[in-house]
Amino acid sequence: MTLPPGQRGVDGFPRFGTHLQHPPPPVPADPVIEMSGALTEDFTLSVAGLAKLPRQELRADFHCVAGWSATDLLWEGVKFGALYRTQVEPLLAPGTSISHVVFEGLDGHRSIVLLEDALADDVLIADRLDGRPLDGDHGAPVRLVSPSQYGFVSTKHLCRVEFHTSQPPDPDRWSPIAAHRRARVWQEERHRRLSGRVVRPVYRTLIGPIRALSARGSRTGPGGGRTGPG
Ligand SMILES: Nc1nc2c(c(=O)[nH]1)N[C@H]1C(S)=C(S)[C@@H](COP(=O)(O)O)O[C@H]1N2
Ligand SMILES: [Mo]
């Protein structure tokens, strides 16, 4: 299998993230996803209810912007596009046009995604990985999975989705490592202003330290919680 430009395969699926050494957030007794923003009314989606919607399996590689790729993961969940069309579009006032979607996790991680990217056929709200419920390391109880975009888009521990009619405030804006707004892996859209090729070697130096920190915060022990064959 070829990987996108500048990516290197890793064994297994490490826990990795801006959460660094923080353990995964506790899963609420009856977890929900709050759906809010430019809708005629906000609503709440229960995570248990997701299991009853039309299910989708997705076999895909997962690419972190720092340069590692986990290969051949099997996700299960609900297509974000199907959810949007059936449950969100009916709540749009005439003339309202959504441009951006914000995905927020229980740990405060946020990803800002163009609607057209969020509606791609390979974007899931996933509750299972490799035939098992998601564990804390990989985003329990549910996470976004958008394998055509770098990993930071795929918010773990998803608890809120906001629908916006224009670019929402972006705390990343003036950051030296400002993430690319589309973050498409095959276009190597790592950085907002610098070319992917240029930032590659710099980002790669972050993999070791962030992996070590993330493993330290893991509930399932170092190595990332992906056990068994594969
Ligand atoms: N809630 C939350 N989601 C997150 C992150 C995070 O720190 N918190 N890190 C992101 C980054 S940078 C990557 S590469 C992937 C890593 O997913 P994994 O830990 O399942 O490998 O999660 C993304 N989603
Ligand atoms: Mo990442």
Q: Residues 106-144: pLDDT tens digits?
A: 999 999 999 999 999 999 999 999 999 999 999 999 999
How remote is the CA of residue 86 from the centroid of ligand 1, in Å? 27
What number is the average pLDDT over the span 179-198? Answer: 97
- Of the chain, the percentage scoring pLDDT greater than 90 comes to 90
When pLDDT is averaged across residues 21-41 and rounded to a whole number, the result is: 98
pLDDT for res 16: 98
Question: By alpha-carbon position, which residue is closest to atom 10 of ligand 1?
Answer: 152
If one residue of 61, 152, 172, 190 were mutated to test the ligand 1 pocket, choosing by the most ligand atoms within 8 A of its CB, it would be: 152
> Average pLDDT of 150-161?
98
Flag the least confident range among 41-45, 82-86, 220-224. 220-224
Q: Identity (one letter) of the amino acid at 163?
A: F
Q: Is 109 in the pocket of ligand 1 (CB under 6 A)?
A: yes
pLDDT value at residue 32: 98
pLDDT at residue number 174: 81
Cβ of 17 less than 6 Å from ligand 1:
yes
Q: Cβ(70)–Cβ(62) under 8 Å?
A: yes
Domains of the chain: 30-166+178-217 (3.90.420.10)
List, for residues 12-26, the tens digit of each pLDDT value: 999 999 999 999 999
Give the pLDDT of residue 223: 43
Length of the chain (residues):
230
Distance CA 183, CA 38 (A): 24
**198 CA distance to ligand 2 middle (Å):** 17
Q: Which residue, among 68, 48, 53, 52, has the nearest Cα to 6 in the 3D structure?
A: 68
pTM of the model: 0.95
Q: How confident is the model at residue 224 (pLDDT cuts 50, 70, 90)?
A: very low
Band of pLDDT at residue 172, cut at 50, 70 and 90: confident
